[in-house]
Chain A
Amino acid sequence: MRRRSWFIVAAVLAIGLCMPAVLAPATQYTAVTLVTDMTIALAWNVVVGYGGQLSLGVGAFTGVGAYACGLAMVHLGWGWLEAGLAGLVVCAAFGLVVGLPLLRVKGAYFAVATLVVAVGLQAGAQLWTWAGGGSGFTLPIAQLPSDSTVLRAGVVVLVVALATTLYVQDSRFGLRLRAVRDDEQAAAGLGIATSTYRLVPFVASGILMGLAGQLSALQSVSVSPAGSFSMEWTINASLFVVAGGIGTAVGPLLGVILVYLILTQGLQNLGVASSIIEGVLLVAVLRFAPSGIWPTALSVGKRLESAWKRRAGAQGMAADKEKRQVHVATASAVRER
């Protein structure tokens, strides 16, 4: 990572860890939601934006993370931190178990396969009576961390997601990853082990999604098939990332903030209508600015800048011409003399 990236990561970590002391309790709850969404968006962006594999199975990872963490707390009596770390390990193992066979499956088939994993796990969790069946279970209050602790944990997770994104953005690994995304055969021809570059981002983003699922479970004090394995996770991730700008570091974060401001703040009382607007937003962005808001804004900015430069350049040329005419005039005056 570049030095600038280290600086950004350290700054976000420092500011984020101070947040709980400053924010009111109600705002802290919102902050946890935002941090969870940002983590999901960044993680999805790593595997889809940089890796080029459309994963529609975000819910599978959030669900596995939430269930692993929750079951460890309820049935083993572990503290939230130990349970969370156990959830991380389970998510990594799950990512490998799913990711390895799915290496064979590509493109749209991969997208549907991941979708099926998420939907299938949700259907399976509904039949799993030991884990509460269809209604899930609630977490034991005694082992729960305070709201500000959840927020601090969330900030740490977000910083890990941010560091992963910046690493992918700047490193050789990320360069190879984008090469595999743009042309897998050509990348393989240049000696890149394409399987590695498909599996590693899948597992890494899966771990981050699992952590986000755990955060959301700790926040809502419950784990259920409808919530933890929800399709909503994939919908949100794609909306944030596609609206903000896929394959960029800033885009997903911008997407979360914009969608949050528009939907949650602007249209608070609309209920179901807000998810209609989510759908319209996603379709409209893809229709009119397929690369997302951030890259579109950047290119508009660049165009304005070059237009400005051209105008400044034209003025400069006019000044030059005037000067030359003065020179010619003096030269002829000298000659006349």
Chain B
Amino acid sequence: MSLTVAINGLLIGSLYGLVGMGLSLLAGVVRLINLAQGDILVGGAYLAIALHGVLGWDPLWLLPIVAVAIFCGCYVVQKWLLNSLVTREPLALLVVTFGLSLLLESLYQELFGANPASLPAFWGDTGFTVLGVRIETLYVVAFITGAVLAACTWFLLYRTHFGRTVRAAAADASTARLLGVDVERVFALTFGLAGVLAAAAGVILAVGQSVSPTSGLSLLVFSFTVMVICGIGNVIGAVVAGMFVGLLQAIAGAVIGQSSTDLAVYVFLLVFLIVFPSGILKRRELGIR
């Protein structure tokens, strides 16, 4: 396996890290495993593709618009749908996210067709060579996006008032409510943030690879792998774990064959879950228990 493949795998993996970060934030704060996370990512990608068709802007300029739109959508979903179930059955909460995933998937199929689509960008197939290693611009953009958004999320969580309310709600929702935190609003904002992280990853992924209505499922598994490795609520660890998943895919693709990249992650996750049934690091990073 060449160094190029490994480095590209590492860089694209930072996008998986972003999605996994959102997943683990939701699990830590709202106590919700969002089975529609992969489909939100695909939603971001499709939205960018549709906007590109209308406006013709570069994907990086479309990123903020997509982020705002997905944020609003996710906020409403959490406020109207999920908050009413959070305190009740955890089972119903899981099933409803599964229903959302089904709904989104068939919606994409209806609107955009079953064929894979991708996003054109002038930096899509350029690249440069560093110390004899060929690196594609796309992967650098992916890594920078991942790193910047991870840093923003960390700042938001640990250096702002909003972050303090999020961490309070995660530590003990009923006490936080007693102290005047609008927990339902915090939950909705957290879901919006997780959606933005996924949608941003989706826009970049749509440039590099293509997306199809059904690609949400495998992306959910990748991001879940990230969450299980890095633990719940761990922001910086998520990027590292994501890069590990990207590397794992690159290794499997080079050693076994391109068709086995997804399978390698599935097998890894299953074995990992059996050995460490609830992740290796538990709810530590958000200062919880």
* Chain B residues within an 8 Å CB radius of A187: none
* Chain B residues within an 8 Å CB radius of A115: 35, 221
A234-B95 Cα distance, complex, nearest whole Å: 11
Contact of B278 among A56, A109, A116 (CB under 8 A): A109
Is A276 touching B110 in the complex (CB atoms < 8 A)?
Answer: yes
Residue of B nearest to A288 (CB): B84
Instruction: Given A109-B277, A120-B263, A127-B263, verify A290-B88 contact (CB < 8 Å).
Output: yes
Is B91 touching A48 in the complex (CB atoms < 8 A)?
Answer: yes
Min CB distance B13 to A, Å, is 18
Contact of A279 among B89, B103, B217 (CB under 8 A): B103
* Chain B residues within an 8 Å CB radius of A286: 85, 92, 95-96, 99
CB of A14 closer than 8 Å to a CB of B:
no
A183-B11 Cα distance, complex, nearest whole Å: 44
Is A276 touching B107 in the complex (CB atoms < 8 A)?
Answer: yes
* Chain B residues within an 8 Å CB radius of A119: 217-218, 221, 266
Contact of A276 among B33, B90, B106 (CB under 8 A): B106
Instruction: Given A112-B33, A272-B109, A275-B106, verify A127-B270 contact (CB < 8 Å).
Output: no
Task: Tell me the chain B residues, 253-289 only, with Cβ under 8 Å from chain A.
Answer: 259-260, 262-263, 266-267, 269-270, 273-274, 277-279
Task: Tell me the chain A residues, 304-331 only, with Cβ under 8 Å from chain B.
Answer: none
Q: How large is the interface on B (under 10, 10 to 19, 20 to 34, 35 or more residues)?
A: 35 or more
* Chain B residues within an 8 Å CB radius of A106: 277-278
* Chain B residues within an 8 Å CB radius of A123: 260, 262-263, 266
CB of B98 closer than 8 Å to a CB of A:
yes
Is B267 touching A120 in the complex (CB atoms < 8 A)?
Answer: yes
- Pick from A97-105, A208-216, A258-266 the stretch touching chain B: A97-105
Min CB distance B249 to A, Å, is 13
CB of B81 closer than 8 Å to a CB of A:
yes
Is A287 touching B263 in the complex (CB atoms < 8 A)?
Answer: no
Is B94 touching A102 in the complex (CB atoms < 8 A)?
Answer: no
Instruction: Given A112-B224, A116-B221, A123-B263, verify A238-B109 contact (CB < 8 Å).
Output: no
Instruction: Given A275-B102, A279-B103, verify A116-B96 contact (CB < 8 Å).
Output: no
A-B CB contacts (within 8 Å), total count: 124
Is B102 touching A279 in the complex (CB atoms < 8 A)?
Answer: yes
A120-B278 Cα distance, complex, nearest whole Å: 20
* Chain A residues within an 8 Å CB radius of B279: 109
CB of B206 closer than 8 Å to a CB of A:
no
CB of B119 closer than 8 Å to a CB of A:
no
* Chain A residues within an 8 Å CB radius of B135: none
Is A272 touching B106 in the complex (CB atoms < 8 A)?
Answer: yes
Min CB distance A129 to B, Å, is 11
Is B263 touching A107 in the complex (CB atoms < 8 A)?
Answer: no
For chain A, what secondary structure do more than half of its interface residues adopt (helix, strand, loop), or is it mixed?
Answer: helix
Is A102 touching B99 in the complex (CB atoms < 8 A)?
Answer: no
* Chain A residues within an 8 Å CB radius of B273: 105, 109, 112-113, 116
* Chain B residues within an 8 Å CB radius of A126: 259
A150-B67 Cα distance, complex, nearest whole Å: 52
Task: Tell me the chain A residues, 268-291 only, with Cβ under 8 Å from chain B.
Answer: 272-273, 275-276, 278-280, 282-283, 286-287, 290
Is B95 touching A282 in the complex (CB atoms < 8 A)?
Answer: yes
CB of A40 closer than 8 Å to a CB of B:
no
Is B99 touching A283 in the complex (CB atoms < 8 A)?
Answer: yes
A124-B259 Cα distance, complex, nearest whole Å: 10
Min CB distance A276 to B, Å, is 5
Is B102 touching A120 in the complex (CB atoms < 8 A)?
Answer: no
Contact of B92 among A120, A231, A234, A290 (CB under 8 A): A290
* Chain B residues within an 8 Å CB radius of A54: 91, 94-95
A316-B232 Cα distance, complex, nearest whole Å: 62
Contact of A102 among B35, B88, B274 (CB under 8 A): B274
A56-B35 Cα distance, complex, nearest whole Å: 11
A105-B100 Cα distance, complex, nearest whole Å: 24
Residue of B nearest to A106 (CB): B277
Contact with A along B212-239 (1 / 0, CB 8 A): 0000011001001000100000000000
Contact of B106 among A108, A238, A279, A290 (CB under 8 A): A279
A-B contact pairs, 15 of them (CB 8 A): A56-B35, A101-B274, A106-B278, A109-B277, A111-B33, A112-B273, A116-B270, A117-B270, A123-B266, A127-B259, A238-B98, A275-B106, A276-B106, A279-B103, A282-B96
Sample of 6 more A-B contacts, CB < 8 Å, known A104-B274, A113-B269, A120-B266: A115-B35, A116-B266, A116-B273, A127-B263, A279-B106, A286-B92
